[in-house]
Amino acid sequence: MSIFTGSGTAIVTPMNSDGSVNYDSFGRMIEFQIAGKTDCIVVCGTTGEASTLTHEEHIETIRYCVEKVAGRIPVIAGTGSNCTNTAIYLSKAAEECGADGILLVTPYYNKATQNGLYAHFSAIAKSVGIPVVLYNIPGRTGCKLAPETIARLYNDVENIVAVKEASGDMSAAAKTAQLTNGGIDIYSGNDDQVLPILSLGGKGVISVLSNIAPKETHDMVASYLAGDLKKSLDLQLKYLPLINALFCEVNPIPVKKALNLMGMEAGPLRMPLTEMEEKNAARLEAEMKAAGLI
C-alpha cells in the first residue's frame, strides 16, 4: 500500500496580503512541483500552516490541491490534531475530497502516553479507508512516538502504512525498521537526513527544500534508489548549507521567504509566525544565490 517513493513536497499554503488563502498562487506552485518531478504533494502539513487554518479553509485547500493535481501524482493531506474527534472529522473530509492518503501528527500539548497514541491513531485510521502516514516530530509536539508503538500500529491497523520520521533519532528509525521487518514505509522528515533514512530502507523524504528545489530533491532520492550513491550524496552535501538556512528560523518562515525571493508569491505568514529577521533573511538569500536558485 505504498503511497509514493521519492520526494514528497510539504507544500506551503500561500496567502494574500489580507491573510486569506491565495489559490491562484497555490495552483502555480503545484504546477511548479509537478514540472520539477516531485513524486507527491503533502498539503496542509506543518509547512502549510495547517494549525492556523480554519476547518473550512483546511478542507477547501485539500480539495483545491486534489483537483489541481488531477491524479498526476499522489496527494497526502495533513489531518492530524491534538483532538482525536477533530482529526477524524478532517480525515474523513480529506478522503471525500479525493486525497490518496493522510498524514497524522502526534497530538501536541496533550502529550499522550504510548497507549494513548495507539488509541488515537487507531481510531483515526479506522475511520477512513485510505492509507495513513504517522508523523513523529517530538521537537514540535512534545510527544515522541516510540518504535514499539509504531510497530504495534503497523501490525494491528491495516491502512497504517508509513511514518514520517522527523525526530532526528537514527537509532529509533533503525529500530522501527527492524521491528516491522522493513515493512513500514519510512520517509525522512528532515532534509539533512535523507540519505541516512534511505540507508535504512526508507522510501524517500517529505521535504521542505523541495518547495524551492523540487527536481534536485527528487534527484537526491532517485539517484540513491537507482544505485548512484555518489550523485545522491553529492546533492545531499551540496544543499546542506541551504537546508540549514531554511531552518535557521522556525519552519515555514524561511521557506515562504525563499519562495517570495523566487517570485512565487507565497505571501505573508499567519500569526504567531512573523517575518524573518534581517540577518537570517540575508543568510537565506546568500545560500539561494550560491545554489543558483535566484
Q: Express each pLDDT in 75-91 by its tens digit.
A: 999 999 999 999 999 99
pLDDT at 275: 97
User: DSSP characters for the chain?
Assistant: ----SEEEEE----B-TTSSB-HHHHHHHHHHHHHTT-SEEEESSTTTTGGGS-HHHHHHHHHHHHHHHTTSS-EEEE---SSHHHHHHHHHHHHHHT-SEEEEEPPTTT---HHHHHHHHHHHHHT-SS-EEEEE-HHHHS----HHHHHHHHHH-TTEEEEEE-S--HHHHHHHHHHTTT-SEEEESSGGGHHHHHHTT--EEEESGGGT-HHHHHHHHHHHHTT-HHHHHHHHHHTHHHHHHHTSSSTTHHHHHHHHHTT-----PPTT--PPPHHHHHHHHHHHHHTT--
Quick one: pLDDT band at residue 191, thresholds 50, 70, 90? very high
pLDDT at 109: 94
Q: Express each pLDDT in 113-125 by its tens digit.
A: 999 999 999 999 9
Percentage of the residues of the chain whose pLDDT score is greater than 90 = 99
> pTM of the predicted model, to two decimals?
0.98
Residue 164 in this model has a pLDDT that exceeds 70: yes
pLDDT at 1: 65
- List residues with catalytic annotation: 135, 164
Q: Thinking of the domain 6-239, which architecture would CATH place it in?
A: Alpha-Beta Barrel (3.20)
Q: Express each pLDDT in 94-108 by its tens digit.
A: 999 999 999 999 999
Mean pLDDT of the chain: 98
pLDDT at 37: 98
Q: What are the domain boundaries of the chain? A: 6-239
Q: Express each pLDDT in 38-72 by its tens digit.
A: 999 999 999 999 999 999 999 999 999 999 999 99
